[in-house]
Amino acid sequence: MTYDGSDGQPVRALENINFSMSQEDIVTVLGPSGCGKSTLLNIIAGFLSPTAGHVLIDGREITGPGQDRGMVFQHGALFEWLTVGENISFGPRMAGVEAQKCAEKVEELLGLVGLNGFRDTPIYNLSGGMQQRVALARCLANNPDVILMDEPLGALDALTREKMQTLVLKLWQETRKMVFVITHSVEEAIFLGSRLVVMAPRPGHIVKEFQLPFAAAGRDANPREIKSSREFIAVREEVLEMIWSMEEQLSPAGV
């Protein structure tokens, strides 16, 4: 992905990005600011078109947004004037699904994300964590093949964030969707990802991929036990060293 900079010179945002996702993968992406994580996510979502190369789903080239991809944003991007149930059912209703089936889907998803009894609650009455649960349910209501997450838990407090990480793993394991998560948290990326992609900047490119076992165990085990295990800490320190080294190269001396 190349675009024109403020000085009129071309800026290479991404280069030599080459990877694949399989059914049931949950891929997390880490890297210092400016490495092109969000650009890559927006290309997969169809919000941006790459200036070279192709992005394919089941052999079909992505040319724009589509129902085969669902997006969960950092701040939910919910309709504040609608209730929880109306937000979740919005996509199916716009697609012409009959009211009874929409209502059944809403109840099913409310149970899945732990919001039973909140169907008629206005969005503005919910906490940040509950709003993100609604955002996840709204995404699942459209039955996408791939769920794209852009820092979905970044605005939450530490305790709520950890609870939501477990929920993300629960939804991944129960729905068996492909999930692609952008995050700035090294711990979160290692905990959530069955695969972790580490990117470096200028231009953005992949420097290493990790195959990780922690996501498979994360739903039923105590998150703190996993994150304090010797295996988890070893991966965390390796990744932190990589990110820290990149940040030092990007920052001016003494900063």
Single out the residue of 64, 25, 57, 59 nearest to residue 43, CA to CA: 64
**Residue range 63-89, pLDDT digits in tens:** 999 989 999 987 768 999 999 999 999
Residue 253: pLDDT over 70: no
**Residue range 163-209, pLDDT digits in tens:** 889 989 998 998 889 999 999 999 999 999 999 999 998 899 999 99
Pure H helices in the chain:
37-45, 84-88, 90-94, 99-112, 128-141, 158-175, 186-192, 214-218, 223-227, 230-250
Residue 219: pLDDT over 80: no
pLDDT at position 226? 93
Distance, in Å, from the CA atom of 108 to the CA atom of 216, rounded to the nearest integer, reads 24
Residue 252: pLDDT over 80: no
Distance, in Å, from the CA atom of 181 to the CA atom of 193, rounded to the nearest integer, reads 8
Three-state SS string over 46-69 comes to CCCCCCCCCCEECCEECCCCCCCE
Residue 222 is encoded by which pair of tokens? 């105590």
Residue 255: pLDDT over 70: no
Distance, in Å, from the CA atom of 195 to the CA atom of 136, rounded to the nearest integer, reads 21
Domain boundaries, the chain: 22-68+147-255, 78-143
Residue 56: pLDDT over 60: yes
- For residues 212 and 190, the answer to whether their CB atoms sit within 8 Å is yes
Distance, in Å, from the CA atom of 167 to the CA atom of 100, rounded to the nearest integer, reads 27
Residue 45: pLDDT over 90: yes
Burial category of 160 from C-beta neighbours within 10 Å (exposed 0-12, middle 13-18, buried 19 and up): middle
What rounded mean pLDDT belongs to the chain? 91
Residue 248 is encoded by which pair of tokens? 């030092």
**Residue range 108-137, pLDDT digits in tens:** 999 999 999 999 999 999 998 899 999 999
What pTM was estimated for this model as a whole?
0.90
Residue 158: pLDDT over 90: no
Q: Exposure pattern of 25-54 as b/e (b: 16+ CB <10 Å)?
A: bbbbbbbbebbbbbbbbbbbbbebebeeee
Specify the residue for token string 């209703």: 93
Distance, in Å, from the CA atom of 16 to the CA atom of 236, rounded to the nearest integer, reads 26
Q: Contacts from 15-20 at CB under 8 Å and sequence distance 24+? A: 15/203, 15/204, 15/205, 16/205, 16/206, 17/53, 17/204, 17/205, 17/206, 18/206, 19/197, 19/206, 19/209
pLDDT band at 28 (very low <50, low <70, confident <90, very high): very high
Architecture of the CATH domain 22-68+147-255: 3-Layer(aba) Sandwich (3.40)
